[in-house]
Amino acid sequence: MSMLAIAITIFLAVFLGVVALLMYFSRSADPVSKRLERLRKDETGQGEGGAAVRGSDEPADRLFVLDPESFSSLRADLTHAGYRGRHSVAWYRTLRVLLAAIFGGVGYQVHLRLPLTPEFSIMVVAGGIVLGFALPHMWVQNRVKHRRDEIRRSIPNVLDLIIVCVEAGLGLNAAVQRIAKEMKYTYPELAQELNILNQEIFLGVNRSEAFRNLALRTGVDELRSLATVLMQSDRLGTSVADVLRVQADNLRTKRRQYAMEMAQKMPVKLLFPLVLFIFPEFLVVILGPAMIQIFRTLSDIGK
């Protein structure tokens, strides 16, 4: 039984260590420190600004042309997570197989070094393989969620800035280009996508198609509705500034409603931790001394 406890402890330690590493590397850095670091690199000619002066393209700024035939579910998930390289699918599958082999090997070493039952040995090895195979998927899904949240929060503010530029006399394409340049430190995720949007338009892609590709690359519903509204605006000849203003107001309303929804769900989410983990401790702290006193009194009476 002690060997079983040791095996479970080793397996849980490895699992928690990997999860901790994933959380550490996937956490968002301090925006102030990140911006200062990028400004420092630009001044020394090593950042994005220096690359633009030297005429070299950064991998994140290269044009990613969407191929509907090869845009599978896995390719879509990797693109939404920001991994839009042409070999990203191959690297992803290779990493899954490699981690499955590594964790399976760890489970097999546990089986060799500890006297486990055959059934539990199979569970340890199979659990390691499944864990290694599932970790890249968990990483990508976490990246997708984080990236979508960052883009979703930045859309209303970016639309307001585009409206200001359009009303000042700039065209929509020029306004998007200017805002993407100005917001590359404040909203880097959306600024990166807007840079790709501008590159597609400069290469001759229709603006409606470019906005549709933007929504497809990010997987954000707000950008998909924005692309639809802009396409209708081009067909009907309405003012782009008015359309963007209405869309920004709608997005702010949705963001406020989403915050209110999360606030309404909070009491329900807190119910189970309170009942299972906090209330029992309160009962022990409150009733414990009284129960001890009752036991002492009853024992004295019995004597």
pLDDT of residue 191: 87
Per-residue model confidence (pLDDT) at position 68: 44
Global pTM reads 0.64
Predicted pLDDT of residue 54: 36
Specify whether the CB–CB gap between 147 and 88 falls below 8 A.
Answer: no
Residues of the chain scoring pLDDT < 70: 1-72, 303
| pLDDT score of 204 | 83
Residue 182 is predicted with a pLDDT of 85
Which of these, 168, 155, 167, 119, lies nearest to 253 by C-alpha position? Answer: 155
Contact 101, 88 (CB under 8 A): no
* Rounded CA separation 65/196 (Å): 9
Size of the chain, expressed as the number of residues it contains: 303
Contact between 220 and 152 under an 8 Å Cβ cutoff? The reply is: yes
